[in-house]
Amino acid sequence: MAKDDTGRLGTETDFIKHDADNMVLLGNTHIDNLMHMVIALGAEMWTSQQRVKIMEILLTTHGKVTTEMIEQYEPTEEDLATWGAERKAMVDRIYSVMARNNSDARAFGSEEPNIDRR
C-alpha cells in the first residue's frame, strides 16, 4: 500500500503513464516481460504481507478486523521502521540473485564439468 499525501496507507497512488511498454531494456522482450512479472509479483507479495501485519495488529488491539479498519489503519513510526527493514530484507532475499557474478556460468546442457567453480 502506498502512502498518500496525508501520510495514510492506501491502495491508490498517482501513476504517470510512460512508453516503457514499447521499449526493450534487457535485450529481449521476453526477458523484459519476465522481469516485469517478477517485480510485480514481489510488490503484490509485500502488499499482502503488510495487510496481514495490519490484521495482526488490529486483532491484538481490538479483537476483530474489518476491511474498513484495515484501510483506515495509520501505522506508527515504529511500524513504518519495522516494515521498512522487513521489506528491505525481503527484497534482498528475492532480488539479490540478479546481482550475482555469472562470469563462470555455462550453458544449460553443457558437457563441461562444473567442479570447483564456486
- Given its phi and psi angles, is residue 27 left (phi above 0), alpha (psi -120 to 50 degrees) or beta? left
Retrieve residue 62's grid coordinates.
Answer: 481490538
pLDDT tens for the 118 residues of the chain, in order:
445 555 555 555 555 566 666 777 777 788 888 888 888 899 999 999 999 999 999 999 999 999 999 999 999 999 999 999 999 999 999 888 888 777 777 777 777 766 655 5
Q: For position 1, what pLDDT does the model report?
A: 47
> How far is the C-alpha of 40 from the C-alpha of 87, rounded, in Å?
14
What SS3 class is residue 8?
A: coil
Please tell me the pTM assigned to this model.
0.63
Picking from 83, 94, 2, the residue whose alpha carbon sits closest to that of residue 39 is 94
Please report, for the chain, the start and end positions of each structural domain, with discontinuous segments joined by +: 29-95
